[in-house]
């Protein structure tokens, strides 16, 4: 298949349908709502959000395809040199209800400008609230296997980039236990497109078995409080640091879609810190010193 902006956007739309259907099998009582939207300057997308009483307190799987004049305040150094841009992508977040089940974020995107340049970016990462090392190893193993199938992918380098990016300097903590992150892949775009499709089709395999293992684990009110405190860190990163959220706001995309990644409930308690030698402290230790899982 010859790569075009249209074929990339069509794949993201199919992936959205496939993942929504797969996630809905976890809870037959809840389905994703669908909210199509249009962008005045060109393009639009579909925001699909699941909220209910099931194992996923909130999940969002969104696609967008937007184009038009490059906004003057766009922070991307390459795009800012062009006059017109086209961007398409899929992004998703899963916020489980159970503190023992990790959150997961992933996104795939394609960008081109009228100067003739085009590139791919994307990644996926896991945010546990209680550390299960076997879950971390399983998640990273699936990602590494995908990367090993494609010469354009570099798991080790992209894992390091993920660890460095998903970091809250004001907390001296990572957001989670990583995954991969890549951006501005401009060489051999057909091969990168093939890799991205493979990665996209594997997202469910990397995360959903972990979710299914943990969603019925008993938990206490103390563990739920910790869960909501850690979700506060997630919100801090997305609102203060995340480039994707900033891009959405800079291009005047639908604000509701941009902010759909935020968790539904959070806590900010004064001077909240885990007691030494507890499972909560074990997690924080890992967040302050990224670990090689494989």
Q: Write the pLDDT tens digit of every residue in 101-148.
A: 999 999 999 999 888 899 999 999 999 999 999 999 999 999 999 999
Cβ(109)–Cβ(85) below 8 Å: no
Retrieve residue 249's tokens.
Answer: 């706001």
Q: Hunting for tokens 């594997």 — which residue is that?
A: 202
Q: What is the pLDDT of residues 223-282, one digit of tens each?
A: 999 999 999 999 999 988 988 777 677 666 677 777 888 999 999 999 889 999 999 999
Options 105, 150, 184, 222, the catalytic residue: 105
pLDDT at position 78 is 57
Residue 95 annotated among the catalytic residues of the structure: no
Retrieve residue 145's tokens.
Answer: 């296997």
Is the four-CA dihedral 127, 129, 132, 135 of positive or negative sign? negative
Instruction: Report domain extents, the chain.
Output: 5-288
Q: Which CATH number fits domain 5-288: 3.40.1500.10, 3.40.630.10, 3.20.20.450, 1.20.58.220?
A: 3.40.1500.10
CB atoms within 10 A of CB 139: 24
Using alpha carbons only, give the angle 168, 171, 174 rounded to the nearest 5 degrees.
45
Using alpha carbons only, give the angle 122, 126, 131 rounded to the nearest 5 degrees.
165
142 three-class SS:
helix
């Amino acid at each position: 298949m010859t790569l075009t902006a249209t074929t990339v956007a069509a794949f993201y739309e199919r992936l959205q349908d496939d993942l929504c259907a797969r996630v809905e099998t976890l809870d037959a009582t809840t389905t994703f709502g669908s909210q199509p939207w249009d962008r005045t300057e060109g393009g639009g997308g579909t925001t699909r959000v699941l909220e209910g009483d099931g194992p996923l307190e909130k999940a969002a799987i969104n696609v967008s395809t937007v184009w038009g004049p490059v906004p003057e305040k766009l922070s991307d150094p390459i795009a800012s040199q062009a006059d017109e841009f086209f961007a398409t992508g899929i992004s998703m977040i899963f916020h489980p209800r159970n503190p023992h089940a990790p959150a997961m974020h992933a996104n795939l995107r394609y960008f081109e400008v009228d100067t003739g340049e085009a590139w791919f970016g994307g990644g996926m990462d896991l945010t546990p609230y209680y550390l299960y090392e076997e879950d971390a190893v399983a998640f990273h193993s699936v990602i590494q296997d995908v990367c090993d199938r494609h010469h354009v992918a570099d798991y080790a380098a992209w894992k390091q980039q993920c660890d460095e990016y998903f970091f809250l300097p004001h907390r001296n903590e990572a957001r989670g236990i990583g995954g991969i992150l890549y951006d501005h892949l401009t060489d051999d775009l057909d091969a990168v497109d093939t890799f991205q499709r493979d990665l996209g089709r594997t997202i469910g395999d990397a995360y959903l078995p972990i979710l299914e293992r943990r969603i019925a684990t008993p938990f206490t009110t103390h563990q739920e409080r910790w869960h909501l405190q850690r979700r506060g860190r997630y919100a801090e990163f997305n609102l203060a640091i995340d480039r994707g959220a900033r891009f959405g706001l800079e291009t005047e995309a639908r604000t509701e879609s941009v902010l759909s990644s935020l968790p539904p409930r959070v806590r900010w308690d004064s001077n909240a810190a885990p007691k030494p030698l507890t499972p909560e402290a074990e997690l924080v230790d890992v967040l302050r010193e990224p670990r090689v899982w494989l």
